[in-house]
Structure 1
Amino acid sequence: MTKLAESVRETADEYRQGANRPLGGYVVAMTAFAGLAGAAGAVAALRGTSGRRISPYDLILMTAGTHKLARLISKDAITSPLRMPFTRYRDSAGPAEVTEEVREDGELRHAIGELVSCPFCLAVWVATGFSIGFLFAPRFTRIAASALTAVAGADYLQLIYANLQQSAED
């Protein structure tokens, strides 16, 4: 076992090339994700809900809802207390959004910081949550996804309005 551990450590060090890459934290995050998704899949199979399909309409809701919720969690100023243990504030980044740096201390803390501050990374988790929601609580999930989709649409309309207003003033 010691030889295997040493081999993994050497390979990880070679991979990192001196950079601070929290590979151990990534392993914990991937294990948690796989465990949650696997458990949900097993429960769905036992309950007979694993054959449910997501309609094209629900997929559109889930797509827009995933975009909005991932962005809300990872970039919104109001959700910064959720990210605070894993990130540090850097600057404002557009309407109601902030830019943050990932905390470097601790592999798990660093890995979670990268996850919760990246809307692209977080979208995988959010979409999986919506998928599980559609299996077990489709009505509630549809309502939540609809609300998030409406907010995403409103955001785009606000940005379009602001751009048109600025163009008219110039």
Structure 2
Amino acid sequence: MTDPKEKIEQEAQAYRDGSEQPLGGYAAVVAGYTALVAAGVLAARATGRRGVAANVGPWDLALMGLTTHKFSRLLAKDPVTSPLRALFTRYRGVSGPSELEEEVRDESGRRAVGELITCPFCTAQWVATGYVFGLAFAPGLTRAAGAVFSAVAVSDWLQLGYARLQQVQE
């Protein structure tokens, strides 16, 4: 009979197929997310904040979408937030207007976290989850912060569009 730990390692090696995927780091990230969501759900239940998801209307969803987009990009790409990513990445240059290109460090745990915090698509799930819990515990403040980030997201698109129009006219 194969030791369960040995069997897990064999399966991980088979999955990796020679790549350097940090499956243990990914598992830790998923476990951390799951633990935070569980803690949030328990706190919501303990304080009587049930049914928040049922109260998310179209305007909240639009605000949440814009906020999640902008805040995810801010966390994952903005130069000002690079100190938050520095332990997990290496600076490689500029990738776009007000955005950095960073390389994720190779160490297993650092790599998994680095991949998470440099990917706006990956951080979006965390941001949206935080937004939902914000609606449960501090709806007014959450909507106000959401309005700020949504306005900045719209402004960014207008700035990029304006810059594009200037290039076309030249």
TM-score (norm 2): 0.95
What do the CA deviations read for 1:116-150 (whole angstroms, capped 9, x no partner)? 00000010000000011001110010011100000
The match for 1:114 is 115
| Structure 2: runs of 5+ lacking an equivalent | none
Offset, 1:46: 2.2
Q: Which moved more, 1:147-156 or 1:44-53?
A: 44-53
- 3-state SS of 1:48 partner: coil
Q: Does 1:102 align with 2:104?
A: yes
* Structure 1 residue 141 corresponds to structure 2 residue 142: yes
2:111 corresponds to which letter in structure 1?
Answer: H
Give the partner amino acid of 1:138: P
> Please, what is the CA RMSD of the aligned residues?
1.3
Is 2:166 the partner of 1:156?
Answer: no
Q: Secondary structure at the match of 1:100?
A: strand
Instruction: Name stretches of at least 5 consecutive residues in structure 1 with no aligned partner.
Output: none
Name 1:62's counterpart in structure 2: 64
**TM value normalised by structure 1:** 0.95
1:89-141 CA-partner distances (Å, limit 9, x unpaired): 11211111011111002x21110000000000010000000011001110010
Within 2, Cα distance between the matches of 1:101 and 1:21?
15
Aligned residues: 168
Matched, 1:84 2:83: no
Amino acid at match of 2:103: E
Tell which deviates more after alignment, 111-120 or 160-169: 160-169
- Asked if residue 33 in structure 1 is aligned to residue 22 in structure 2, the reply is no
Runs of 4+ in 1 over 6 A off after TM superposition: none
What is residue 12 of structure 1 aligned with on the other side? 12
Per-residue deviation, residues 22-81 of structure 1 (Å, max 9, x unmatched): 111111111110011011111212222121321211111110000000000101111111
Q: Percent identity?
A: 48
